[in-house]
Structure 1
Amino acid sequence: MTEKPVALIVLAAGQGSRMQSDLPKVLHRLGGVPLVGHALATGRLLEPEAVIVVAGHGAEAVGKAVAKLDPEARIALQEEQLGTAHAVRQALPLLDGFEGRVIVLYGDTPFIGEETLANLASHAADVVVLGFEAADPGRYGRLVTGPEGLERIVEYKDADAVIRAIRLVNSGVLAADAALLREFLPRIGNRNAAGEYYLTDIPELARAAGHRVEVVTCDEAETLGINTRAELAQAEAAFQARARARALEDGVTLSDPATVWFALDTCIGRDAVIGQNVVFGPGVTVESGAEILPFCHLEGCHVSAGATVGPFARLRPGAELGGDVHVGNFVEIKNSVLDEGVKVGHLTYLGDAHIGEATNIGAGTITCNYDGVGKHRTEIGPHAFIGSDTMLVAPVRVGARAMTGSGSVITEDVPDDALALGRAKQVTKPGLATRLMQALRQKKGN
Structure 2
Amino acid sequence: MNEKINEKEEINLMDDTTDRLHNYRASAFENNNRFFGEIVISQDTLNFQSGDNGVVFPLKELTIKAGGANDKMIFLTHAHNPVWTVCTTDHKLLKDSFLNSYPRITEQIENIQTGKTQAFMVLVFILILCIGSLYGLFALKEPIVTSLTKRIPPAWEQKLGDAAFLQIKAKKEFIDNAQADHALKKITTPLFSRIPQDRHSFKVHIAIDPKINAFALPGGTIVLNTGLINAAARPEEIAGVLAHEAAHITLQHGTRQLIASLGIFALIQAFFGDATGLMAVLADNSALLLTRKYSRDYEQEADKTGWSYLEDAGIDPQGMIDFFKLLLKEQNNKPDKTISKTGDSLNFLSTHPAAGQRIQYLQNLKDKSGKNQEYINFDLDFKEFQDLIKRTRFL
The bucket for the TM-score relative to the shorter chain is: under 0.3
Could you state the TM-score of these two structures normalised by the residue count of structure 1? 0.20
Say which structure is richer in helix.
Answer: 2
- Greater RCO between the two (CA within 8 Å, min separation 6)? 2
Structure with bigger gyration radius: 2
What TM-score, normalized by structure 2, do the two folds share? 0.22
